Structure 1
Amino acid sequence: MDFLALAIICIVGAMLQALIGFGFPIFAMIFLVRLFPFSAAVTISQFAGLIGVGFFFFKYFKEVRWNILFPFLFPALIIGIFLTWYSAKLPISGLKICLGFVLILIALYMFFYSGRFSVRPTRLLGCSMGAVSGVLNGVFAMGGPPVALYLLPVTENKIAYLASANAYFFIFKIFSLPIRFLNGAVSIEQSSYLVVSLMGMTVGTVIGDKIMHRINEAMLKKMVYLFIGISGIVIVLEELF
């Protein structure tokens, strides 16, 4: 039953990732922490996610907006890689409640006011949002919301947004996953779950890629901001109750 549950989680989460450009780790962690210890759940989530983000990264490689992504990428990697190693020593529960409330406030603001202002992809904005994403990725493996909030308003179309977002996730996972494995996050006995997660992620990514092309930019933005808000609510409720 654990194998079946993991496969379903990965299929649904991969479809979500394909549709809005992020979200698999947030969705998956809601359920995986009930099946595995926290460190193993994070590692399985990141390992499975490598398939999904890698698929879109290579498929739409020519659409990646590197000039916009680079200011975001470097601080995210530096901070995120350090916190990936250090995260085992941090008080996760209190930090997660703060994260949840921040996501809710950001989602409400962006959902109702996103059309009333424009965002310029400055280096300062990119570095700031990249630092935030590095913290969230290193501690919670949930660095997607800052990526979406930064890239969605400044990329000119849906494909450029998805390509750039998945380029960041792919590069980050390449650096962070070896650290988690070296820290012993997944035991030899749990290695079979990694295989199942990859299979589920592959199926969900293929399905999601076909559905993604039917969603227009306006609907994509609403889905992104709505999911950020829902993620915040779920995180807060999980920690409080």
Structure 2
Amino acid sequence: MTWILVFFPALLAGLIQGLTGFGAVIIMMIFFPSILPMAQAAGIGGVIMLLSEISLVIHYHSEFKPKRVLSAFVVYAAVATWSVHLGLVLDTHLLRLMLGVLLIALSLYFLFSKSAGDRRYPLYVALLFMIISGFFNGLFGIGGPLMALYFLSLSKSMPEYIANIQGFFLIDGFYITTVRVATGILNAHVVPYILLGIVGATVGTIIASRLSTRWDLATVKPWIYRFIGLAGFYYLLF
């Protein structure tokens, strides 16, 4: 049963992230905390997706914008490095509830405001997205929804969106995993879970890549907004 709770969530995570650009760790965090401590569950979720993220960045490499990704990552990583240690002293349940309400509100706003998703955010809004995302990534390994909105607002096509958000998550994955290894959160004990999860995530990513070639950004946007709302409900309920 333990191996099933690793493989199939990872497969579904690869499928979801390949189609929407984010959400892999959200899916895995529904299941992994039942077999691992919260911090380790978040850590292996990020490692499992690295190979899938590498493959997507290589596939869409011509659309990758390094300056756009790195400038966002500097802010995001600074906050994540600080918040990774806060789970021991903060009321994380309350923080998850607050994030859930925020994501649901954003989802409804973008679904019902026809022009909301077609314009770029002011710099202060983009910075706020990076700070909030980095904060929750450090705590729970989940920083994708707001960064998805940020990169979505800058993208003109599905390949451009996927290339940049996956490039961002790839850099983040290597960085935050290094922090977790250095702090002892990840160790040799979790390697078998990671290897099995990578197989599942790779299968899911391959399926998503074949499906996504039939869709354009305008088709995918509403589904991304809906999934952000579902992520919000997850934070409220679990």
User: The TM-score by the shorter chain falls in which range?
Assistant: over 0.9
List runs of 5+ in structure 2 lacking aligned partners.
Answer: none
Which amino acid counterpart does residue 154 of structure 2 have in structure 1?
V
Shift of 1:120: 2.6
Task: Could you tell me which runs of 5 or more consecutive residues in structure 1 were left unpaired when the two chains were aligned.
Answer: none
Residues 117, 153 of structure 2: 8 Å contact kept: no
Moved over 6 A (4+): none
Letter in 2 for 1:23: G
Report what 2:211 is aligned to.
211
TM-score normalised over the length of structure 2 = 0.92
Alignment of 1:100-139 (within 5 A): 100-115=100-115, 118-120=118-120, 123-139=123-139
What does the per-residue CA deviation read over 1:145-203, in whole Å, with 9 as the maximum and x for residues that have no partner?
A: 11111111221111101101011111111111011122222443332111111111111
Q: Which has the larger displacement, 100-109 or 178-187? A: 178-187
CA RMSD of aligned residues (A): 1.8
Measure, in 2, the Cα distance between the counterparts of 1:175 and 1:190.
18
**Which residue of 2 is the match for residue 69 of structure 1?**
69
> Displacement of 1:138 after TM fit?
1.3
**Residue 122 (structure 1) shift:** 5.2
- Would you say how many aligned residue pairs link Structure 1 and Structure 2? 238
Find the residue that maps to 2:156 and give its secondary structure. Answer: coil
Question: Hey, what's the Cα distance between the residues in 1 that align with 2:7 and 2:117?
Answer: 41
Does the 8 Å contact 2:70/2:168 carry over to 1? no
Aligned-partner Cα distance in 2 for 1:117–1:42: 29
Per the TM alignment, residue 70 of structure 1 is displaced from its structure 2 partner at its CA by: 3.9
The CA distance in 2 between the partners of 1:66 and 1:169, in whole Å, is 13
- C-alpha separation in 2, matches of 1:205 and 1:118: 27
Distance 1:26 1:13 in 2: 8
The residue aligned with 1:31 is 31
Q: Is the 8 A contact 2:10 2:200 kept in 1?
A: yes
Cα contact 1:64–1:164 (8 A) shared by 2:
yes
Give 2:11's aligned residue. Answer: 11
Percent identity between the aligned chains?
25
User: Cα gap change, 1:121/1:68 in structure 2, threshold over 3 Å: closer, same or farther?
Assistant: farther
Counterpart in the other structure of 1:184: 184
